[in-house]
Structure 1
């Protein structure tokens, strides 16, 4: 099991890490939240695979990523119209009827593209968002217990499995937006207002600065 590691960051520290490691690498570190940033140097990090399951309020989306050097490549994607939160009353089914078939589909699609996966080395990250946040702590725990069981039963490795808060979602969206716009190294970054599902989120450089100087960025490390 991974253990919780807390790293205090301010905005200057984030910019320094981007300058040192490259923006995409920092983005992946924030996205997966499960390895120390120092391991992300492009010249030493081996090629790895990870699955990210975005368990939203209206659907569940799984993406298989290839991480190689400083490149992060989405290889295959599979969507289910069933949200993870819909299994609140039947939590055991969340693993067997939702996550397991989704992982099977990703494996099949990767095979169609001639990628051979050593599943026991591919970490599966399941990130519950707004819909799951509406559930009680006991309901969430029951769902994630079933999800963990199914991931391991299918031969994959466990990554981060749990619920992320709206601030995490906002940071991910802000990082992705400014990377896609080519503003990663700029002082003139764009803010976002994301409206979707049951929540709206807004984030800008100034709000990120306020948040990072008052709180801690949580990371999971081996």
Structure 2
């Protein structure tokens, strides 16, 4: 064939473009589905809340179960989630139930806690579909009530619960039943509040602070915007971690022994875990003079009597509270400028004195607690039988809020729920343990 007769083969244009598009699509899919090796810095004492590297299909449904074993009761939270394209879970809804007393009340007879734990576990069984139970993490975290018990007694209670959990169809790991560090409790509660308000996924949003007053301990956690907060914070009060592709520097501390019930005992001159002599009694200027009652705390019953010859119950009680708190709380001035949520006993005592609507909560100034304390202490002779410790509780709340850095005119938002979800540490902790258990069972 002559050169003039030579022809050139050409690939049709449309099939060629389709072939290139297919190659690009396959390459992108490969990059997308290849597991990432990048790790995130974790919260101190924790491994990583979102570090598994797994990819979930959008709209996938999954569950988490968190038992909150507090000093005055045990609560179960059953959370239903769906996965979003951003990687942050979307909370579909929560099932919640609480029972009393707390686990610590069974310190000498741990087997007696079994019925209550099984009752709460049945709530999860009813809510979660059978085919998802084996992949659903089941966790119990105990707080100040068990922290205050002798180690041997606390461990027997935890072992009893773990035996029950291991016989269930849910996902139970090595860390599933334990006592939670107080600082982690504050951090998880802060995550819960700011997740429910949408602030965690909105970089331009102002992050709220959090106050929690439990029975055995109290927590304060907030995101510092002022440099002086970092430089003035005691060692261990600043925590750094990553969440939702953001780095957070939190001021967080848990004061063990300054929860409302533990504070009561100290204000009256008692000591944690030490019963009185058979004929002994605690005498306090914070209840009706001459009134005799009992106080049950951490498995011990104390005989209590109101101090005689007290002219002003509020003033005398205020002095007792101030003396007990001396040197125990760090003041953080920045909190005066932050929006702060407060819950647990802050909410309960505000409800008891009609400062808020119990169905929706509300705003309360520190001064409102003081006014309620003054009124209650003046009228305590009439309510001694039904609420003998209300004067003391309100006086204590007034003082500890000011010691933490809140002025009397500071407004706090008191809530039990945000967007119909309980405002406790349980949701924040569930995020962490869901990933930890699925990765390390």
The reply to whether TM is greater than 0.5 is yes
Kindly indicate which of the two structures has a greater share of residues assigned to helix: 1
2:134 is the counterpart of 1:120: yes
2:238 is the counterpart of 1:210: yes
Mapping for residues 100-139 of structure 1, pairs under 5 Å: 100-108=118-126, 110=127, 116-118=129-131, 119-139=133-153
Mapping for residues 127-206 of structure 1, pairs under 5 Å: 127-159=141-173, 160-184=176-200, 185-186=203-204, 188-206=206-224
- Post-superposition Cα deviations, 1:80-107, rounded to whole Å, max 9, x if no partner, equal 122111111112332x222112111332
**Deviation of 1:209 (Å):** 8.2
**Deviation of 1:155 (Å):** 3.0
Q: In the aligned structure 2, how far is the partner of 1:55 from the partner of 1:130?
A: 9
2:81 is the counterpart of 1:67: yes
Q: How many residues align?
A: 187
Q: Is the CA contact 1:51–1:122 (under 8 Å) kept in the aligned structure 2?
A: yes
CA RMSD of aligned residues (A): 3.2
Greater shift, 72-81 or 133-142, is seen at 72-81
Q: In the aligned structure 1, how far is the partner of 2:58 from the partner of 2:52?
A: 10
Q: Is the CA contact 1:62–1:77 (under 8 Å) kept in the aligned structure 2?
A: yes
Q: In the aligned structure 2, how far is the partner of 1:138 from the partner of 1:131?
A: 14
Question: Which consecutive unaligned segments of at least 5 residues does structure 1 have?
Answer: 1-6, 12-29
**Deviation of 1:128 (Å):** 0.4
SS at match of 1:106: helix
Structure 1 segments, 4+ long, off by >6 Å, are none
**Deviation of 1:194 (Å):** 2.1
Which structure would you say has the larger RCO, counting Cα contacts within 8 Å and 6 or more residues apart? 1
SS at match of 2:116: helix
Question: Which consecutive unaligned segments of at least 5 residues does structure 2 have?
Answer: 1-39, 84-88, 225-229, 231-235, 242-248, 250-431
**Larger gyration radius, structure 1 or structure 2:** 2
Per the alignment, do residues 51 and 163 of structure 1 end up closer, same or farther by CA in structure 2, a change over 3 Å counting? same
**Deviation of 1:212 (Å):** 2.7
Per the alignment, do residues 179 and 186 of structure 1 end up closer, same or farther by CA in structure 2, a change over 3 Å counting? farther
Kindly indicate which of the two structures has a greater share of residues assigned to strand: 1
